[in-house]
C-alpha cells in the first residue's frame, strides 16, 4: 500500500487564503500513521480529499493497493431511537459478531450496549462510532479526532490493541497530541500551513506496540523533531 500526492492546491470557495499550494507528499507504509499540526493547517481538509469528499482540488492523489476507505470523526451521530448494541449488530454480518464483542471489551463500553446513543457521554459516543467503522470493510481508515474526550489510559489501550488486530491496515490518525503520535505512530505527517515550505514534514514515530518498552531518549527526540517541524 502506498499513498502519494503531487502538486495539490486547494482553496475553499470565497476563502481568501489557500489551504494547500502545490502540496507534495507520500506515506509509504501501512500501519498507524498520523496527521499532526495545529488547527487550521489543513489536516481535516487533506483527510477529506483522501476520502473523496473534496474533489475540486488541482494536482494528483495516487493510492496503490487502497480502494476502500473509511472516515470516522469526532462527534459523529448515530440514530437515537434504538439501543447502541442493537444498532451495531444489525449493521454487520454474522461473521463479524465475534470481532464486535472483542472491540466492545477493548473499548470499555460493555455497559453502554443497552443505552440509547443520546444517553452516552462524548467519549462513549466516539468509541461507539469508531467500533462501527472498524467493523466495516476498508484498507485505509481515517480517525479524525475519533478518540477525543476519551481518557488517556483508555486511548492508549485502544490504540495498542487495534494495532495488533489490524497490523496491515493503513491508519491515518488526526491528533493534536504530540506525546501520543510520537509514541504510537509510525509515520507522522506534520502539517505546517500553505504559506510555509515545505508544507508538510515527515517524522518517524516510535510505533510502540504491545509488550514493547519505550525508548525514552528516542521518544523525546521524536517529540522535539515534531515541534521543530511545526
Domain at 178, CATH number? 3.40.50.300
CB 60 within 8 A of CB 7: yes
- Which pLDDT score, from 0 to 100, does residue 81 have? 73
- Residue 79 binned pLDDT confidence (cut-offs 50, 70, 90): low
Q: Which helix (H) or strand (E) holds 158?
A: helix 152-165
Of 39, 36, 62, 37, the closest CA to residue 49 belongs to 62
Domains in the chain: how many in total? 1
Distance CA 151, CA 141 (A): 22
Query: Residue 94's domain spans which residues?
Result: 2-229
Distance CA 222, CA 220 (A): 5
**Is the pLDDT assigned to residue 76 strictly greater than 90?**
no
Distance CA 132, CA 92 (A): 9
**Is the pLDDT assigned to residue 80 strictly greater than 70?**
no
Q: Which residue has the cell 449493521?
A: 91
Q: Strand 187-191 relative to strand 200-204: parallel, antiparallel, unpaired? A: antiparallel
**Is the pLDDT assigned to residue 6 strictly greater than 90?**
yes
Residue 222 C-alpha cell reads as 521524536
CB 105 within 8 A of CB 165: no
Tens of pLDDT, residues 126-183: 999 999 999 999 999 999 999 999 999 999 999 999 999 999 999 999 998 999 999 9
Distance CA 154, CA 111 (A): 15
Quote the crossing angle between the two packed helices 152-165 and 97-107, to the nearest 10°. Answer: 150
Tens of pLDDT, residues 87-140: 888 888 889 999 999 999 999 999 999 999 989 999 999 999 999 999 999 999
Amino acid at each position: 500500500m502506498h499513498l502519494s500526492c503531487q502538486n495539490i492546491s486547494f482553496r475553499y470557495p470565497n476563502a481568501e487564503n489557500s489551504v494547500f499550494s502545490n502540496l507534495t507528499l507520500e506515506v509509504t507504509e501501512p500501519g498507524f500513521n498520523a496527521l499532526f499540526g495545529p488547527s487550521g493547517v489543513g489536516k481535516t481538509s487533506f483527510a477529506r480529499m483522501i476520502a473523496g469528499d473534496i474533489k475540486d482540488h488541482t494536482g494528483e492523489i495516487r493510492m496503490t493497493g487502497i480502494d476502500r476507505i473509511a472516515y470516522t470523526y469526532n462527534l459523529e451521530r448515530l440514530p437515537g431511537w434504538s439501543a447502541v448494541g442493537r444498532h451495531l449488530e444489525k449493521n454487520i454480518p454474522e461473521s463479524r459478531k465475534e470481532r464486535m464483542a472483542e472491540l466492545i471489551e477493548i473499548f470499555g463500553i460493555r455497559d453502554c450496549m443497552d443505552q440509547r446513543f443520546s444517553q452516552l457521554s462524548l467519549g462513549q459516543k466516539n468509541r461507539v462510532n469508531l467500533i462501527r467503522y472498524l467493523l466495516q470493510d476498508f484498507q485505509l481508515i481515517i480517525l479524525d479526532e475519533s478518540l477525543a474526550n476519551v481518557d488517556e489510559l483508555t486511548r492508549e489501550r485502544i490504540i495498542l490493541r487495534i494495532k495488533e488486530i489490524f497490523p496491515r491496515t493503513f491508519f491515518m490518525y488526526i491528533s493534536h497530541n504530540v506525546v501520543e503520535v510520537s509514541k504510537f505512530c509510525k509515520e507522522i505527517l506534520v502539517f505546517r500551513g500553505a504559506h510555509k515550505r515545505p508544507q508538510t514534514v515527515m517524522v518517524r514515530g516510535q510505533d510502540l506496540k504491545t509488550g514493547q518498552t519505550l525508548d525514552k531518549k528516542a521518544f523525546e527526540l521524536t517529540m522535539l523533531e515534531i515541534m521543530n517541524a511545526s
